[in-house]
Structure 1
Amino acid sequence: MDDSKAQTSIPDEEVLESLCALDVASEEIVSYGIHPRQFIEWYGPATGELVVLVHGIFSDDCHGLPALRPAALALGEAGYRVALVEYRREAGDPSVTLEDTRTLARLPQLLGATWIGFSSGAIPVLDLLFGEDSTVRHGVLLAPIIDLRQEVEENGIYAEAAQQWMGDTPEKNPDLYAQYDPAVAYARLGADAFTAEGYRLDIMHGTGDQIVSAQRTYNLAKEPFNIALVPGANHYDLICPGHDAWILLLGALRLQNSAE
């Protein structure tokens, strides 16, 4: 993958801290369960096209939801009805997180939504898209982690967090990864079935990403996905309103709406 024309970008840490420092808050927060983490922050007009934003599973509380609030606000200002969702995360029990996102997908007010997953937030989005009897037809992934086995075995930045969330390593518990790894779920579904079902998956990744290598997305070029590599963009540029990657995200949402 040639990155010779990549533009210089602000370091990931600076972009992340800048996003989290912005004074953004929703005036409409609704619970969907009794646990303190089971809530939705709503942004944008009630009549707008539905979008669900999912932050990274492996992000801490200071950088999970807060990092995506500026994106939620910007999408709301663009006319979308945005559900920024929070969910439970318990070390060693991935079913807890996926139970929450599956519950969210069944809510009447979220039916027909486009689901956007950032970083490890791609995992629950793909669980919904590749799952049986899925109500989710369109997913957008931003700088995603798609293959949990790869993240752990290649000792990626989130390898330890991924192993803790899963509760074991692929070597010691391959059945666990066969059940919860999105890459395995897609292999089980297959490209033909994905296309036949009319699913749509847009993936955007910055070539300057030092947290999740864009090569992983590039390696999916032969799959029936829509892939866009953003020259020079780092990990958090993908959720930064006003960046070149933001224009691609808005374009993906508009194309989906015009196709319906």
Structure 2
Amino acid sequence: MRPQDEEAALLALPPAAAEDSRAYGPHPSQVIDYYGVGGGRRLTVLHGGFWREAYDRAHLSPLAAELARCGYAVALAEYRRVGGGGGWPATFDDVAQAVETAWDGAEHVVLGHSAGGQLALWAAARGGVSGVVAVSPVADLGYARELRLSDGAVDELIGAEGDLAAVDPVRLPPLGVPAVLVHGTADVDVPVEVSRRYAGVAGARLRELPDVGHYAPLIPGSAAFPELLAALAEVEGHDVPPGGAEAAATQAPVPRSKE
């Protein structure tokens, strides 16, 4: 798949219906969808879209359903976004609440993509999660602001004069939990250098995917999807099966009972 075709391929996937949903607040965007509720290790998933209202969790529902088929229990969280009551601090309040309550305090890994990757790293820095996987994350907000990614999305999120200190992953304390970044070298939405800068500061593991763009690791069946599964296995402390990431795609996590 060519990098320029990845977005269309992801958005062409039919939405997958959740097995259950739970509101964590009164706003329509304060909701979590659940997939694989009887499955094994728990994930909380945060979607991207440069924090804007135009992009919601629906485009990651096929991913959530596929991860459930791989043996995970998945909480796909929605949150208020810029243009729909979000921005600083509402977006962050919602993500904190969703991550804290999705599994009623039980151990879980947080997985985020793009802007959701930034939110996942921010949430992990607050504590309460066992690990984080960030796919093409906006992991350096200051650098993203300099690059004016997505026509100045960072300024929309926190304001042109907003203080990055409390929300920028590169400026936050060390996570204290395993962190793996997955980033395609052909990503034009969030250049791989953003993740390189974060990894250099935070000591996170960075998996660079040659000739991969912004979306491929999220597309079940794509050549890059096994790299996401391998990153999840790595952050959970499991060896990648013999044969590497490709084998990880066919080895579901060992289920465990829900506390």
CA 1:86 to 1:49, structure 2 compared with 1: closer, same or farther past 3 Å? same
Aligned mates of 2:71, 2:26 — CA distance in 1: 30
1: CA distance, partners of 2:199 / 2:75: 30
Give 2:111's aligned residue: 116
1:43 Cα shift?
Answer: 0.9
User: Which residue in 1 is equivalent to 2:92?
Assistant: 98
Q: Distance in 1 between matches of 2:198 and 2:164?
A: 20
Cα gap change, 1:32 to 1:154, in 2 (>3 Å): same
- Once the two structures are overlaid, the 10-residue window that deviates more, 79-88 or 240-249, is 240-249
Matched, 1:155 2:148: yes
* Paired position in structure 2 for 1:127: 122
User: Is contact 1:50–1:110 with CA below 8 Å preserved after alignment?
Assistant: no
Task: Look up the match of 1:136.
Answer: 129
Residues 4-42 of structure 1: per-residue CA shift (max 9 Å, x gap): xxxx7141xx43233223222213221111110011111
TM-score, reference length from structure 2: 0.81
Q: 1:94–1:180: 8 Å Cα contact kept in structure 2?
A: no
CA distance in 2, matches of 1:248, 1:15: 15
Structure 1 residue 149: deviation in Å? 1.5
Cα deviations by residue, 1:128-176 (Å, 9 ceiling, x for unpaired):
2222xx10230100011011111112222x24222111122xxx44xx2
Out of 222, 230, 240, which is 1:243 matched to? 222
Give the drift of 1:84.
0.6
Describe the shift of the 1:15–1:216 C-alpha distance in structure 2 as closer, same or farther (beyond 3 A).
same
CA–CA separation in structure 1 for the residues paired with 2:188 and 2:146: 17
Amino acid at match of 2:233: R
Instruction: Give the conservation status (yes or no) of the 8 Å contact 2:140–2:198.
Output: no
2:23 matched to which residue of 1?
31
For the residue of structure 1 that corresponds to 2:33, the secondary structure is strand
User: What stretches of structure 1 of length at least 5 have no aligned partner?
Assistant: 1-7
CA distance in 1, matches of 2:58, 2:20: 15
Which runs of no fewer than 5 residues in structure 2 stay unpaired? 240-259
Look up the SS of the partner of 2:94 in the other structure. Answer: helix
Say which is worse superposed, 246-255 or 30-39, in terms of deviation: 246-255
TM-score by length of 1: 0.81
Deviation (angstroms), 1:61: 4.9
Separation of aligned partners in 2, 1:95 and 1:60: 14
| Count of matched residue positions in the alignment of Structure 1 and Structure 2 | 234
1:3 corresponds in structure 2 to none
Match of residue 4 from structure 1 = none
Deviation at 1:62, TM superposition (A): 5.4
Contact 1:204–1:245, Cα closer than 8 Å, also in 2: no
Deviation at 1:252, TM superposition (A): 2.3
- State the secondary structure of the residue aligned to 1:205: strand
Deviations 1:65-84 (A, max 9, x none): 12211111110111100111
Measure, in 1, the Cα distance between the counterparts of 2:54 and 2:68.
Answer: 22
Q: 1:255 to 1:179 in 2, by over 3 A?
A: closer
Q: Distance in 1 between matches of 2:151 and 2:105?
A: 32
Matches within 5 A, 1:125-204: 125-131=120-126, 134-156=127-149, 158-168=150-160, 172-173=161-162, 176-185=163-172, 189-190=173-174, 194=175, 197=176, 199-204=177-182
Matched residue, 1:216:
194
Letter in 1 for 2:146: E
Counterpart code for 1:94:
W
